[in-house]
Amino acid sequence: MSASEQPRIESAKGTPVAAAEAKPAASRRAPASFVSRLAATCFAVIIAIAIARLFEFFEVETFYLVFLPVITGACAIAGLEMGLIAAGLSTVALWWLFIPPIGFDPPGRADLAHLCVFGIVACFGCWVIDGLRRTREELARDNVMLGRKISALLGRKKTR
Residue-wise pLDDT for 27-78, tens only, equals: 455 678 999 999 999 999 999 999 999 998 998 888 899 999 999 999 999 9
Query: Which residues lie below 8 Å from residue 41, measured CB to CB, with a gap of 6+?
Result: 74, 78, 82, 85, 86, 89
Residue 33 carries which DSSP code?
P
pLDDT at 155 over 90: no
- Residue 92: helix, strand or coil by DSSP? helix
Q: Please state the φ and ψ torsions of residue 24, each to the nearest 5 degrees.
A: -65, 160
Q: Residue 101's pLDDT band (boundaries 50, 70, 90)?
A: confident
pLDDT at 15 over 70: no
